[in-house]
A and B are shown apart, each in its own frame.
Chain A
Amino acid sequence: MLRIVLAEDSVLLRDGLTGLLERFGHKVVAGAGTADELIATVTEHRPDIVVTDVRMPPGFSDEGLRAALELRERRPELPVLVLSQYVQRAYAEELLDSSDGTGVGYLLKERIGHVEEFVDAVRRVAEGATVVDPEVVRQLLRHRRDPLSRLTPREQEVLALMAEGRSNAAVAAALHVGEGTVSKHFGSILTKLDLSLTDATNRRVLAVLAYLRG
């Protein structure tokens, strides 16, 4: 049996969730209707897991998520399951970045309807697992595309030759283009690999390393 604090401003949904969780033998020790209430109740009841909505009063913004992050900061091992109405990469990333990303979950509210799946997710998060909604995972993966794929075929060629240790002049000769063209390609490679403009010599090494890794 898990002792749960449930933060959800819609009474309808809060009662429904309480009934649902209790049917599976867990106990909702307290419900919270606002983010401040959530922090207060968690401090008071020290539950096994917190289940919270993202959007909460008073601002109806992302107060629930912020409260969850704050609770995790105070008690990094506190399991938190965030329910959201949106597939939002930014929110999920913040949550996964909190402490070491264990014992957190980010689920779409729709998932509640799949009752067993949902209760299982609550249990797994409470045990320290990381649970992310399949929809969100799909978006996270789409975002973390291989940065090398952003390069044009020509830029990949340039980078490949650089990785062999050739100078700009040697690369230019190998590709039968001017040295200016090579440095232009290299500039664009750096931009695409998000390498900063601080140190020109290291960036060459970093770009090549990125190539070799990819």
Chain B
Amino acid sequence: MGDLLQFTLTGVTIGSIYAIVALGFVTIYSVTKVINLAQGEFVMLGGLTMFSLTTAGLPYWVAFFVTIFFVLILGWIMEFILIRRAKGADAISLIILTIGASIFIRGIASVVWGKDQLRVAPFTENTPVNIMGATITPQAMWVVLIMLLVVFLLYILIDKTMVGKAFQASSVNPLAARLMGVSPIKMSSLSFTLSAALGALAGLAVAPIMFPAYDMGAMLGIKGFSAAILGGLGSAPGAVVGGLLIGLLESLGAGYISSGMKDAITFSAILLILLIRPSGILGEKSVGKGGL
């Protein structure tokens, strides 16, 4: 029983990270119909930038916000330089374009930060807490909390503000949105910026747990992508469900079957789910609504 609880807690923690990364995918996809496979690199940049800033002696929370700002600017630049030029390209070209960007960013990061895993301090005092025979670190709780906060803030932004309405409008019909005075280009730019910030936030939250390195983004990106696909692309609740599901599959698979096989187990399960529901778990519900 203690085992099951432990695996579940671990699964929810990892799953929350995947969920935040997946929300980054969804934010961009629902506005621009682009899948940004460099999303995982934003996470990596978040963790590594935080390492550099705190080692340089910046106070923790100043470094925290500077990191988010830095990665957010990079996201904006990426949209400005790459995505805007590739307007009208098909899905395959866009996948290739963002894969190119992710290899490029990873290569640069390996030159700048080297190949070692780096250490970043946790948000708060990090003594593990014992709950009914299972342990959980305060940082893991922070991760879950941040995920919930992100979901809440995105909900407010998309459903309750004018910016959110503009987001939804340019997602549903870019031409009509333009006629009503909404600039789809600005929205595209904004979605990339927002999604980069989300990536950085995931990187900051996970850095004290995972010890960031230049190549951490690849796997996180793939898991986040899987979560977004599993939930049904374009659905924010789906991204969270997908993320948590993958986290749990991975943690239970590693615990009960084999830790080496966990990725094979997880992805086999994803293939199975896609075989049964080709548009993801919550995919069909979002069809027609177009929003997050």
B and A form one assembly = no
